[in-house]
Amino acid sequence: MEMKGNKYMNPYLAGLMLGIVLLASFYLTGRGLGASGAMKSVVVSGVSTVSSEYAKNSHFYSKYLGGEYSPMKTWLVLEVLGVLIGGFISGAISGRLKFKLEKSPKITGRKRIWLAIIGGALFGFGSQLGRGCTSGAALSGMAVMSLAGYVTMMAIFGTAFALAYFFRKNWI
């Protein structure tokens, strides 16, 4: 059921849907959405598997260990598994399931891959320093009017705008 000329949902409608999901999360759990937290769980559990002693002695990893459940059986990990399946269902319904390396025709595939890895590494690093990413800090934070949410949102989007000129050849 591919829709021609209008393949994605109207963005305001999609935003409304996302907002309702976010609201449901607050109503049910008292917290908003998240994404980088689940990635952190993967890293913490990986490090702990390699050396449990080392992880327990680290000021960073130890914060997420020692609970009743393993770091892989947490709320955010299950939520992000849901994101994976939900995204897949949406892609299947709209006929968008396809292996594709998306990039500007002006750059090589190899360059796109390196940019994705470096960008991901920066985002991952920044999300730990800044206590959450676009989902958990910016979007969820703004919904509860937290100052942290607004500051993080402005820092993320402001920096991306400020640097856009220097990276334009990778995108346009």
Partner 1 sequence: MGPIIPLFEISEEINLLIAFLIGLGFGFALEQAGFSSSRKLAGMFYGYDITVLKVFFTAAITAMLGLLFMNYLGMIDMSIVYVNEYFMSSAIVGGVIMGAGFIIGGFCPGTSVCAAAIGKIDAMYFIGGSLIGILLFGQTYPLWEHLHNAQQLGSLKLSDTLGLPDGLLGLIVIVAAVGMFWIGEMAEKRFKREDISKEI
Interface residues for partner 1 in 119-148 (CB under 8 A)? 119-148
Q: Does 168 bind partner 1 (CB under 8 A)?
A: yes
Please give the Cα distance from 7 to 98 (Å, whole number). 15
* C-beta separation of 91 from 97 below 8 A: yes
Quote the least distance from Cβ 145 to partner 1, whole Å: 5
The site string for partner 1 over 2-31 (x = CB under 8 A, - otherwise) reads ------xx-xx-xxxxxxxxxxxxxxxxxx
Residues within window 35-54 making contact with partner 1, judged by CB under 8 A: 35-36, 39-40, 42-44, 46-47
Q: Which is closer to partner 1, CB of 11 or CB of 52? A: 11
Q: Does 111 bind partner 1 (CB under 8 A)?
A: no
User: Which of 28, 61, 25 minimizes the C-alpha distance to 43?
Assistant: 61
User: Which of 47, 28, 42 minimizes the C-alpha distance to 78?
Assistant: 42
Q: Does 106 bind partner 1 (CB under 8 A)?
A: no
Q: Looking at 88, 106, 108, 169, which residue binds partner 1 (CB under 8 A)?
A: 88
User: Which of 90, 89, 114 minimizes the C-alpha distance to 101?
Assistant: 114
Please compute Rg for the chain using Cα positions.
19
Quote the least distance from Cβ 5 to partner 1, whole Å: 10
* C-beta separation of 43 from 72 below 8 A: no
Q: How many Å separate Cα 117 from the centre of its chain?
A: 14
Quote the least distance from Cβ 43 to partner 1, whole Å: 5
* C-beta separation of 35 from 142 below 8 A: no
Q: Does 86 bind partner 1 (CB under 8 A)?
A: yes
Residues within window 56-75 making contact with partner 1, judged by CB under 8 A: 58-61, 69, 73, 75
